[in-house]
Amino acid sequence: MNGGLQGFNAWLLQRITATLLLMASIGLLFLLLLPPAGDFDSWQVWMSQPLIIVIIGVFAFALVAHAWVGVRDVIVDYVHPPGMRLLALSLLGIYLLGNLIWLLWILL
């Protein structure tokens, strides 16, 4: 039996990450209703709070996982030559991982 990210596992991960994205979005929208003063230093202090970092981090991880599953499924379904499929999946993985690392570098 294949325990990979197929069928029900992919479906479940999509639903979990969609729920996390929704919750993190609502949390960020709520927190943005009470923004700090308009100057850069106030925003920098506000963005360095642990709660903000955690919410943005959860959002980023959920977004990358959600994008990976969704775009991976499209690539697997529509890119038939194995070499092209491997190239497309590799480029997607590098792109998503690079963006996640960049965001974490900014946050931390």
CB atoms within 10 A of CB 92: 16
**Is domain 7-107 in CATH 3.30.460.10, yes or no?**
no
Q: In this predicted model, what pLDDT tens digit does every residue of 9-62 receive, in sequence order?
A: 899 999 999 999 999 999 888 888 876 667 888 888 888 889 888 989 999 999
Does residue 3 register a pLDDT over 70? no
Q: What is d(CA 69, CA 92) in angstroms, rounded to the nearest whole number? A: 11
Structure-block tokens of residue 57: 């981090």
Q: pTM (2 decimals)? A: 0.84
Q: Are 68 and 96 in contact (CB under 8 A)?
A: yes
Look-up: residue for tokens 């690392």?
Answer: 101
- Give 60-71 pLDDT, tens digit per residue: 999 999 999 999
Query: Token pair 């100057």 is at which residue?
Result: 39
Domain extent listing, the chain: 7-107
Contacts of 5 (CB under 8 A, 6+ apart): 13, 69, 72
